[in-house]
Amino acid sequence: MTDPDATPQPDPLATASRDIAEVPAVEIISTAALHLMSAAAVNLGLAADLPEHKDLDEARSLIDSLAGLLDAASPSLGHHHAAPLRDGLRSLQLAFREASSIQDEPGQGPGEKYTGAVYPAATK
């Protein structure tokens, strides 16, 4: 039986929808990008607590997804938010190139269809 004097409880789905409605798009996009970056780094063997783990197929998919997200979202993010994410993407692309025993052709590496070919910085 239900107590007629009980205070009705809020619908958890309605509360979640209200909560997400208050979060700016730039934060949601940035959070998604950071999750993709973190997962790619782990699959490249860059995680301090899991350095022996490497799955380059997974890393490629994650880097491709990150590059596509940033390509699509950069105009909405603005330079202030997009620049550090693009720097992180480039670092992951270079780490992938370094970790891969079979090198992709320039422009064919993960995410390069969105970013163009990625090369290591020239050394002096």
What is the structure's pLDDT at 26?
A: 95
Q: Who has greater pLDDT, 20 or 49? A: 49
What is the structure's pLDDT at 64?
A: 98
Mean pLDDT taken over the chain: 91
Residue 32 pLDDT greater than 90, yes or no? yes
Report the alpha-carbon distance of residue 118 to residue 42 in Å, rounded.
20
Percent of the chain with pLDDT over 90: 77
User: What pTM, to 2 d.p., does this model score?
Assistant: 0.83
Residue 45 sits at the vertex; the CA angle it makes with 49 and 28, to the nearest 5 degrees, is 85
What is the structure's pLDDT at 20?
A: 86
pLDDT digits (tens, 9 = 90+) for 62-111: 999 999 999 999 999 999 999 999 999 999 999 999 999 999 999 999 99
Cβ-based neighbour number of residue 95 at 10 Å: 17
Answer yes or no: are the C-beta atoms of 123 and 72 closer than 8 Å: no
pLDDT band at 2 (very low <50, low <70, confident <90, very high): low
Average the pLDDT over 35-54 and give the result: 96
